[in-house]
Amino acid sequence: MNEPLVVLVFATLEPDHIAQIERVDPRVRVVTATDLGRALEVAAQAEVMVGWNVPREAVQRAGRLRWIHSTAAGVDQLLHPEVLEREIVITSSSGIHQPLVEHVFALALALTRRLHVAIRNQLKQRWERREAVGDEIRGKTLGVLGLGTIGTEIAEKAAVFGMRVIGTKRTPRPVPHVDRVYPPEGLPEVLGGSDVVVIALPLTPGTRGLIGRDQLRAMKRSAFLINIGRGPVVDETALVHALREGWIAGAGLDVFEREPLPADSPLWKMEQVIITPHVSGAWPGYLDAAVPVLCDNLRRYLQGAPMRNLVDKTRGY
């Protein structure tokens, strides 16, 4: 038998998940990194690493590493200097994040229908109808920043609610259910024309701090900002100021500049903000969906065939 192909996994897998991966080929041996010490012991033998976050120290010790598979859609946390400098392939789990799309509309509906107000009043045992009366999203304009795989699915679901959709895409071309696709330079038009703005962008040098004071001022005072992409895309200090000054009506935030969100962040106490702890793409069956994507790519890798969800390391997605 040929030498084992060691797959070092930085995720909590069930025995069935490990069995699925090892059934791909008799050469495959899965090792789970229960802690950093264990990971560093095995790293030198690993040809493949898997996880949402692969520690840089493990990559530095992995002279045989050829491929990293992200169990998430985003890969910014994997782009260590050693990964960029070496011929290491990166793939993602893009395409399995339907719950993330649902989370976007959970936030959009909650903010529009003012459920956040009703829930706070419920906890205070207050029956107050006037301040809990919400609007409808039908007929409103949804602006999607980042019409990639996830952004396109968001646009599709928006059509079900009768929303008009506009958005940005690095290389503009027609997108189903989107009325107008702008290049990145069209950001001001998207922000100014939207009732709900959804950030579905990856974190890259070009998107870090993209939404700051000027961009928030460009939005409607009645608009909501929803971020399910990456926290550092938004200048949080500017966002707090915008919310305090009423530049926008509210925000639904799942990701933040620092995670966990610090206890002293003003965002916690803002009544027009809904906070979720980076769970928009998570659900109990996540790994049940992610492991088959890994297995398919593992077969392709072993066969020398083109792999799915290849990441352009220079672009960061």
- Other CB atoms within 10 A of residue 293 CB: 19
Instruction: Establish whether 230 is a catalytic residue.
Output: yes
Determine the Cα–Cα distance for residues 58 and 213; give it in Å rounded to an integer: 39
Q: Which stretches of the chain are DSSP H helices? A: 15-22, 36-43, 56-61, 81-85, 98-112, 115-123, 149-160, 187-193, 213-218, 236-245, 286-303
Of 180, 278, 300, 308, which is the active-site residue? 278
Instruction: Establish whether 17 is a catalytic residue.
Output: no
Contact (Cβ atoms closer than 8 angstroms) between residue 59 and residue 83: yes
Determine the Cα–Cα distance for residues 312 and 316; give it in Å rounded to an integer: 6
Of 17, 153, 230, 257, which is the active-site residue? 230
Determine the Cα–Cα distance for residues 78 and 89; give it in Å rounded to an integer: 11
Question: Side chain identity at 47, as an amino acid letter?
Answer: E
Of 259, 271, 299, 315, which is the active-site residue? 259
Instruction: Establish whether 278 is a catalytic residue.
Output: yes
- Tell me the catalytic residues: 230, 259, 278
